[in-house]
Amino acid sequence: MSVAPLLIAGVSIILIFVSGFWVSRTGKPYSTGILTIHKLISLAVLIYLGMQVQRFRQTAIMSPLQWLSIALAGILFLVTILTGGFLSMEKDMPAVLKTVHHILPYATAATALVALFLLA
């Protein structure tokens, strides 16, 4: 794997953060358009990362550490999406959920980039 996927993933993750900050600045009820942009960027990045893993799997045997990092990144990504989905609901959610969603994206981004780095 070349350096390009790492750069694309890094820039894409920055776009997720920027759009997430944009969503949070609008306050509840969240703007449907801005929230949709944030969700679509996140989904596109998840698909892109999945495609990179699949390409790597076709050309090389993956080590247990690579599998572990990919699995952890995937789980964190899904939990981040779930907490964001709950927060986007009209109903007020527990404050801990908001805190988790503010911390989890950093762990998700770091883990995803480490996983891609391990594949590079």
Q: What is the pLDDT of residues 66-118, one digit of tens each?
A: 999 999 999 999 999 999 999 988 888 899 999 999 999 999 999 998 998 88
pLDDT value for 29: 85
- Listed residue (15, 72, 63, 9) closest to 41, CA to CA: 15
Q: Which residues contact 103 (CB under 8 A, 6 or more apart)?
A: none
pLDDT at 7 over 80: yes
Residue located via tokens 């527990």? 94
Q: Are the C-beta atoms of 9 and 42 separated by less than 8 Å? A: no
Averaged pLDDT of the chain: 90
- Listed residue (51, 101, 109, 112) closest to 79, CA to CA: 101
